[in-house]
Structure 1
């Protein structure tokens, strides 16, 4: 009897040591672990422990967030499935999964812990539920451990968003994690498939908030800035559609005539005078050129007319004397 009492105390101390070593919600001690940590009396010829070393009277159902596994000695020795010797012997659900019920059984190919659905997350182990993503954040995958902020140009205005939406036409989201969109400013626009507002092109205008398109600057007006109303074109200027500034004829020399520019009277007078001067210059130039040519020709002929001849007499008459006609 005394020996049995000592043996009971020893077994109780070993079991308590196993309980104290289970400090976290990690997978419970298996049969192999028990065989290492628990020293029990064995029958001659045997080496494996038995359930008799455990106090199965303390068995309780696994709580929410955990589940029973029949491959664990601390659970399989309990009288009913779903019970384990103490809570730490139950398997905890990992991050991204949850389990809301007590006494759940685990089996191969059929997980007890459920994955958090899209739009929800769980960053704790042994959880009995998942948390919904807050507005401005989303979780697109199952078993998410966190939510991501909506990117710039997208938004989520409710909780548990599985994805963020592109802002509607005429609006944008300038910040990340946006809960709502803001309308495009005057001078800007945005189509439904675009993420950010765009400045109106040159020659277009838009003076309202939250517009999808810009308007072409009308004829006889000009639009120097896309966020102001079209300005009436001056009477002496041209302003076709899409003008950003009025176009003028060259001052003094031209004037507006309908949709074109024409020569001013002073320009016509100057052209006539200028043409006459040019013509006179050409005539003078031609005459002078002709005179120069004549002078050059005269100089070329002078040596021939004044060539010296040697003195001599023919028939008693000097050779350089002027010829005299005899009259016959």
Structure 2
């Protein structure tokens, strides 16, 4: 409620002012005070303060303001009309400003364009909805705004724009949709203006990818922005996800399939000597290898391998040996030599007083009592009657030694000093006899030569033949 002042002028300039308490309506005039009901705030043009309208009487106006215009508040040509929304002339009606509209005739105020619309023209009877790709989030706006890059609006009368969802992007403003990221690209945040390229070691194979996928083990991708990964070829591998290149199998390992995540070690008895191998080669005879080797090893002395792909070399059996590296077969121990397969690698000679007459034997035979064995390949010999031969004898043991010999504690005889003197005398005597023989033979040769010389007289010529 408020007091409304209505001014009347009757007769002789008599002014009667009547104050009546009436409810305000949309076409009421507030004098000396700016006032708008709460329900109409933002829809009515502001009233200038201290507006005083002097009406000489209520006018019977016939021009009802058309839609898009309103009766001008404060203009006596409209306010003094007996009916609100009328003016004395058509031109007295005021067109609604930009950003407002009035769909009805006979109105006293314009309405602000709602959010999602725009009012570009004056005197509008309606507001135009924002077109696709545009929005307006305020009332009373004269123009809708373009959706920013990374957003879109796919309907009219939009009050806001939607952000591009994951996997989509929009680089241009004012668009009605977002575009899916192409293969090799991705968008993992909303409102993306440009999709990000997949880095090396990753890929995206479909439109609208949110995140790029890392290449699986056994695959790789060296380039950016790719729609797939590449398989590692035979002889290569990749053991990590997201690999940008494959690694070569090292010597001793191989890979015989594409897309390998690891290389396989060569089996025992095989080898691969080069990188990037697709298979392993068997070891030759006389060699062996453990698992994962790049070379085969020659069999040690006393061992052999008589077939290909040996995982290890076999020791020679008893009575046999090998005396070269990389032997294929074992050879028999020679007579006088033996080898015990449990303890020895090579054949060993029999000791003194022992013998072995056969090849390929594991044990020597001790010389029996009553016999002596002067060598390891000699058979037992009977002991002389005047000597003794205990077990394992190399030579007989005499009770008394011959002249010029002396007996030792073990019963054997050794030469004395006089033995060596006698031997020396014999050698000297033989040498003297040999010298005399040579001298006498030389003298006889000279006498024979003198007898054969021809006789001739002194001064006679020597006949020299034809």
Q: What TM-score, normalized to structure 1? A: 0.51
Distance 1:91 1:77 in 2: 21
Per-residue CA deviations over 1:273-316 (Å, capped at 9, x if unaligned) read: xxxxxxxxxxxxxxxxxxxxxxxxxxxxxxxxxxxxxxxxxxxx
Whether the 8 Å CA contact 1:234–1:246 is kept in 2: the answer is: yes
Determine the structure 1 residue equivalent to 2:156.
none
Whether the 8 Å CA contact 1:135–1:156 is kept in 2: the answer is: yes
The one of 372, 378, 394 aligned to 1:222: 372
Distance 1:80 1:47 in 2: 18
Change (3 A) 1:48 1:77: closer
Per-residue CA deviations over 1:120-152 (Å, capped at 9, x if unaligned) read: 111112211101111111112x21111111111
* Matches for 1:283-322 after TM superposition, within 5 Å: none
Distance 1:234 1:214 in 2: 24
Q: Given the alignment of the two structures, is residue 175 of structure 1 paired with residue 324 of structure 2, yes or no?
A: yes
Change (3 A) 1:99 1:75: farther
* Matches for 1:206-217 after TM superposition, within 5 Å: 206-217=356-367
Distance 1:126 1:114 in 2: 12
Quote how far apart the aligned CAs of 1:82 are.
3.2
Quote how far apart the aligned CAs of 1:94 are.
2.0
Determine the structure 1 residue equivalent to 2:289.
139
Whether the 8 Å CA contact 2:253–2:272 is kept in 1: the answer is: yes
Q: Given the alignment of the two structures, is residue 97 of structure 1 paired with residue 247 of structure 2, yes or no?
A: no
Structure 1: tracts of 5 or more residues without a match: 1-42, 57-66, 254-260, 262-328
Distance 2:219 2:226 in 1: 9
| RMSD, aligned α-carbons | 3.4
Larger radius of gyration: 2
> Which has a greater percent of helix?
1
Change (3 A) 1:104 1:76: farther
Q: Given the alignment of the two structures, is residue 121 of structure 1 paired with residue 276 of structure 2, yes or no?
A: no
Distance 1:124 1:252 in 2: 77
The one of 295, 301, 325 aligned to 1:152: 301
Determine the structure 2 residue equivalent to 1:235.
385
Whether the 8 Å CA contact 2:197–2:224 is kept in 1: the answer is: no
Structure 2: tracts of 5 or more residues without a match: 1-191, 206-215, 237-243, 404-410, 412-466
Quote how far apart the aligned CAs of 1:228 are.
1.3
Determine the structure 2 residue equivalent to 1:300.
none
Per-residue CA deviations over 1:196-234 (Å, capped at 9, x if unaligned) read: 111112111100000000111112111000111111111
Per-residue CA deviations over 1:170-209 (Å, capped at 9, x if unaligned) read: 0111011111111111111110131011111211110000
Whether the 8 Å CA contact 1:68–1:91 is kept in 2: the answer is: no
Whether the 8 Å CA contact 1:70–1:76 is kept in 2: the answer is: no
Quote how far apart the aligned CAs of 1:72 are.
3.0
Quote how far apart the aligned CAs of 1:48 are.
4.9
Whether the 8 Å CA contact 2:320–2:360 is kept in 1: the answer is: yes
* Matches for 1:26-41 after TM superposition, within 5 Å: none
Per-residue CA deviations over 1:31-86 (Å, capped at 9, x if unaligned) read: xxxxxxxxxxxx987885668xx9x9xxxxxxxxxx974453459946476378xx
* Count of equivalent residues: 190
Quote how far apart the aligned CAs of 1:165 are.
1.8
SS of match in other structure, 2:295: coil
